[in-house]
Amino acid sequence: MTPLRIGFVAVVRPAFKGDGAAVARRSLSALATVAGEQRADLHADDAAGHGAAIVRDAVEAAAIGRRLETEGLDLLFVLHATFATGDLLAPLLAAAPRVVVWAVPEAAGARVGGPDGVRGPLPLNSLCGLNMTLSFAEGPRGGARGRVGWCYGDPDDPALRSRLRTLIAAERGARALATTRVLAIGGTAPGFYGLELPGLPGGATVIERPLADLFARVEAVDEEAAVAHAEAWRAEEPLDAPWAHLVRAARIELALVALARDADANALAVRCWPELPDACGAMACAAMGRAADRWLPAACEGDVWGATSMRVLQAVAATPAALLDLSDLDRGRDALLLWHCGNAPRTMAAAPGTRLTTHFNRDGLGVVRDQTLAPGPATAFRLLPADPARGPALGAVVIGGRVLEAEGPSFDGVRGWWGELTWSREPVSAERAVAGILDHRLPHHLALAPGDARTALLELCERLGATPLPPSPRGGLG
């Protein structure tokens, strides 16, 4: 994905005795460090030569606001270096699609050799400024284009920098949702009624194509190109299936990627059975995993909302995601088995890595990826559509946990035992997590990505106005 474009501007009223300009410079430096870590592009207007873009009065606010509007920013941080009134803030709140207003502690404005920030004149009154700005930002006088975020803390405080990382990661997710174009090929698999859901939220769109288009594109792949692709693929992953199956899978992968390119799509939802293996002589599982390797999320069984959840999750977590089933519960280990046929990205594989083999219940048909999920933190995510029966207009499920070292049953395909679970921010047993998934009537796919992305995903829910569904009040399944 292209990097986020982030802007920064500080509001400094000269009437306050704290060193607001120094606070602005330190804050910009902190933001630049975090933006670099998050691979975001930071643009800071400094036409006046202050070392950071600083607004001191309404005239400057209007001029800088106009300049910022031309920058094509995704996210603008507005620092309340001091208290300021709405005439200074409104032009800035309207200057970018998404604005975060930042306040600092009073001690941040202490001057060297002068007031120490704990006695005498109030140095900044920054927090009060943030409080007032948020009270009008999203109304007609504020003019913000969307929901305004906020953060509070000294720029050198590790907790504040963690908050900045969270806000930037959440914004990546929001932009991913707004720019998602799912190529839905063939609709949902027959009988998968729970995946037949309404249109996507947040600017995401669906492009529908019949399976015939995929079959024709597979047939049109040049044989030499398919063989060369299969040879390169075999060099990367051990093959424990007939060579012809890998060549057919290579055809499917090349066809899927070409169809996505032609449709300007950045996610796939494929009716991957029952017709496709009969028509193409191969399963699509490993080909869809290869698409995920390319950061092109590919959802099985025509799961459009699953593909969208994958794309948003991979943007927030900054790593490719997989779409997995909940397949078993181990009460003794307090863990859940996450599994699917063989469609995950290689980045999620534990040592010794992946191998290509035949499908677990389609003898003689391949190829699928056989891999165990790498142990470590992993986060599951699922967006839920507007549905009066569900309550909120847009909901989400955020579950954190840890993929455990491989023990116990290990079924062919992509698999891993997932324990130490947390539903949103509340620790839950594996039984209670299952109860929540069932009580909330979730579709049977969860997007999963390595790492702990819970805080950023919950911030994303706040950003989108989506309600994180609560854990089940049940203590378990009994």
Same domain, residue pair 37 and 132: yes
For residues 167 and 6, is the Cβ–Cβ distance under 8 A?
no
Q: Which of 135, 154, 178 is the last residue of a domain?
A: 178
Q: What six digits make up the tokens of 263?
A: 């449709």
Predicted pLDDT at 409 = 63
Question: Does the residue 474 lie in any domain?
Answer: no
Same domain, residue pair 202 and 154: no
Q: Which of 113, 148, 178 is the last residue of a domain?
A: 178
Question: Does the residue 473 lie in any domain?
Answer: no
Residue 217 CA to residue 263 CA, distance in Å, equals 13
CA distances from 280 to 208, 244, 250, 298, 455 (A): 20, 12, 11, 18, 43
**Residue ranges for the chain with pLDDT beneath 70:** 45-51, 111-118, 387-392, 408-409
Using CA atoms of 256, 259, 264, 268 in order, give the dihedral in degrees to the nearest 10.
Answer: -40
Q: What angle do helix axes 243-262 and 285-293 make, rounded to 10 degrees?
A: 50
Same domain, residue pair 295 and 437: yes
Predicted pLDDT at 91 = 97
Specify the number of domains making up the chain: 2
Predicted pLDDT at 463 = 93
The predicted model scores a pTM of: 0.94
Same domain, residue pair 257 and 365: yes
Same domain, residue pair 313 and 226: yes
CATH number of residue 439's parent domain: 3.20.14
Q: Computed over its alpha carbons, how large is the radius of gyration of the chain?
A: 25
Question: Does the residue 475 lie in any domain?
Answer: no
Same domain, residue pair 167 and 195: no
For residues 446 and 380, is the Cβ–Cβ distance under 8 A?
yes
Same domain, residue pair 204 and 280: yes
Predicted pLDDT at 304 = 97
Same domain, residue pair 153 and 276: no
Predicted pLDDT at 62 = 96
Question: Does the residue 477 lie in any domain?
Answer: no
Residue 101 CA to residue 103 CA, distance in Å, equals 7
Q: Name the phi and psi angles at 272, rounded to 5.
A: -85, -5
Same domain, residue pair 433 and 299: yes
For residues 475 and 432, is the Cβ–Cβ distance under 8 A?
yes
Question: Does the residue 114 lie in any domain?
Answer: yes
Q: Which of 125, 152, 178 is the last residue of a domain?
A: 178
CATH number of residue 90's parent domain: 3.40.50.10940
Same domain, residue pair 128 and 262: no
Same domain, residue pair 137 and 64: yes
Residue of 471, 364, 339 lying closest to 415 (CA atoms): 339
Domain carrying residue 151: 5-178
Question: Does the residue 246 lie in any domain?
Answer: yes
Question: Does the residue 89 lie in any domain?
Answer: yes
Question: Does the residue 306 lie in any domain?
Answer: yes
Predicted pLDDT at 277 = 93
Same domain, residue pair 250 and 126: no
